[in-house]
Amino acid sequence: MSMAPEDRRIFELFAERVRELEPRARIWAFGSRARGEAEWHSDFDICVVLPEITPEVREAISFHAWEIGFDSDQVITTLVFSAADFEHGPISASPLVKNILQEGIAA
C-alpha cells in the first residue's frame, strides 16, 4: 500500500514549512499513514532530523504540526532529533529508527 493522496499533500505541506525553518532538514512520514493503512482516528507520525535543534525551532515545528493538523483534521505527531543523536546516539540503534529508515517515506 502507499500513502493516500490527501496524506501526501499534508506531509508535503509540513515538510515545506519545516524546510523554511531549516533547509537541511531530513523528514520522513512513518507508521500507518505512510503505509496507507490509516483509519480515521490514526495519528500522522513524522520524524524530523535537523543539523542542530534550538528551542525556537522545536517550538516552530510543533506549531506547524498543530496548525496543519488542525486545518486538515489530523493529529500530527512529530519526533525531532539532532543529526548527531539520530545517526550516532543511543536512539540510532533503536527499532524505531530502523523502521523509519526502512519503511518511512522521505519528503
The distance in angstroms from the start CA to the end CA of the chain is: 17
Residue pLDDT, tens place only, 70-98:
999 999 999 999 999 999 999 999 999 99
Residue pLDDT, tens place only, 32-60:
999 999 888 899 999 999 999 999 999 99
**Considering the entire predicted model, what is its pTM?**
0.94
Domains of the chain: 5-106 (3.30.460.10)
